[in-house]
């Protein structure tokens, strides 16, 4: 239900602080809590997602069902719904983020957009067949169990998943595998990151547990393959992209079923 003007303006203020910037017309604009130099990350990510989605689906956009896993305040869910997709569903583990997302949806009058609370480690959305498009943006590197989550996302993906993540430098070598003379080559790496401070301070950008795992690009491709995707590719960032995307420290990857 679209809120009354005064009620909506009060609700926008009461829900602060916000992570994303939304233009909600007469209700006002949200102000992101991110430093100005980091804020362009959202626009770069959206530009790259739009490039993939528009290029892949083309004239089929109005037929598409989209699942946004780890939707946060609904920034990318809203963007997909405003394209006119048949159905967009955002899921997130935090009620506080979902409350903001629902308010934005109602303020913009997006009837094709719904939000639900789920943990991607136990992703049990209503069984209505796979979604042609899944989004998994800014989530993977905050997870304690990334393969479990990728398998869940893969199970719900009908055609493509657009994934964005921080990545770490590559590591390769040989590991002993049962005996000194028995070795196996390894390529790619998962770095363990301690997010205890952010987690215990209830930072909404941290994962659902204090331990995070961040992949290298080679590890990312291997994980997507073993999760059930046929192939994956990293997308070239556009001119003027956020500096981490330009330097390859964050990547947008498309995985195909």
Among 8-17, 72-81, 198-207, the range scoring the smallest mean pLDDT is 198-207
The pLDDT tens digits for 23-67 are 999 999 999 999 999 999 999 999 999 999 999 999 999 999 999
Region at 166 (left for phi over 0; alpha for psi -120 to 50; beta for the rest) = beta
| Structure confidence at residue 124 (pLDDT) | 78
Among 4-8, 93-97, 157-161, 201-205, the range scoring the smallest mean pLDDT is 201-205
- Residues 6 or more apart whose CB falls under 8 angstroms from that of 21 comprise 29, 30, 31, 32, 39, 42
Residue 77 three-state SS: helix
| Structure confidence at residue 129 (pLDDT) | 78
Q: How many CB atoms lie within 10 A of CB 92?
A: 26
- Fold (CATH) for 5-170+212-256: Rossmann fold (3.40.50)
Label residue 3 by pLDDT band (50, 70, 90). confident
Q: Has residue 152 got a pLDDT over 90?
A: yes
Label residue 165 by pLDDT band (50, 70, 90). very high
Distance (Å, rounded) from C-alpha 39 to C-alpha 126? 34
Mean pLDDT of the chain: 94
Among the residues of 37-131, which ranges form H helices? 40-57, 75-82, 95-108
Give Cα separations from 160 to 6, 15, 47, 123, 211 (angstroms).
41, 33, 17, 18, 28
| Structure confidence at residue 210 (pLDDT) | 87
Query: Strand 65-69 relative to strand 87-92: parallel, antiparallel, unpaired?
Result: parallel
Distance (Å, rounded) from C-alpha 158 to C-alpha 153? 10
Q: Has residue 179 got a pLDDT over 80?
A: yes
CA dihedral 235, 250, 241, 199 (to 10 degrees): 140
Label residue 78 by pLDDT band (50, 70, 90). very high
Among the residues of 166-242, which ranges form H helices? 196-200, 217-227
Whole-number percent of the chain with pLDDT over 70: 99
| Structure confidence at residue 197 (pLDDT) | 82
| Structure confidence at residue 97 (pLDDT) | 96
Give Cα separations from 121 to 9, 91, 171 (angstroms).
35, 12, 27
Residue extents of the structural domains in the chain: 5-170+212-256
Label residue 127 by pLDDT band (50, 70, 90). low
Token pair in block for residue 53: 């989605």
| Structure confidence at residue 184 (pLDDT) | 94
Distance (Å, rounded) from C-alpha 36 to C-alpha 48? 20
The pLDDT tens digits for 209-241 are 889 999 999 999 999 999 999 999 999 999 999
Residue 145 three-state SS: coil
Cross-strand partners of 88: 66, 113
Label residue 1 by pLDDT band (50, 70, 90). confident
């Amino acid at each position: 239900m679209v809120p009354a003007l005064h009620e909506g303006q009060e609700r926008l203020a009461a829900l602060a602080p916000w992570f994303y910037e939304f233009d909600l017309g007469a209700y006002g604009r949200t102000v992101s809590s991110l430093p100005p130099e980091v804020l362009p990350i959202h626009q770069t990510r959206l530009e790259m997602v739009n490039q993939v989605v528009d290029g892949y689906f083309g004239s089929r956009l109005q037929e598409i069902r989209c699942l946004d896993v780890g939707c946060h305040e609904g920034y990318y869910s809203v963007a997909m719904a405003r394209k006119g997709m048949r159905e967009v569903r955002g899921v997130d583990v935090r009620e506080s983020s979902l409350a903001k997302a629902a308010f934005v949806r109602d303020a913009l009058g997006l009837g094709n957009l719904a939000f639900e609370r789920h943990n991607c480690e136990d992703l049990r959305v209503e069984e209505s067949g796979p979604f042609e498009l899944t989004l998994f943006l800014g989530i993977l590197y905050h997870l304690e169990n990334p393969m479990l989550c990728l398998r869940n996302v893969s199970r719900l993906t009908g055609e493509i998943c657009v994934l964005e993540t921080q990545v770490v430098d590559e590591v390769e070598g040989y590991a002993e595998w049962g005996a000194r003379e028995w070795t196996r080559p390894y390529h790619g790496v998962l770095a363990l990151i301690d997010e205890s401070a952010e987690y215990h301070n209830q930072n909404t950008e941290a994962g659902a547990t204090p331990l995070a795992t961040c992949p290298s690009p080679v590890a990312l491709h291997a994980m997507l393959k073993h999760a059930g995707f046929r192939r994956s590719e990293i997308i070239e960032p556009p001119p003027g992209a956020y500096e981490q995307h330009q330097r390859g420290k964050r990547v947008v990857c498309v995985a195909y079923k």
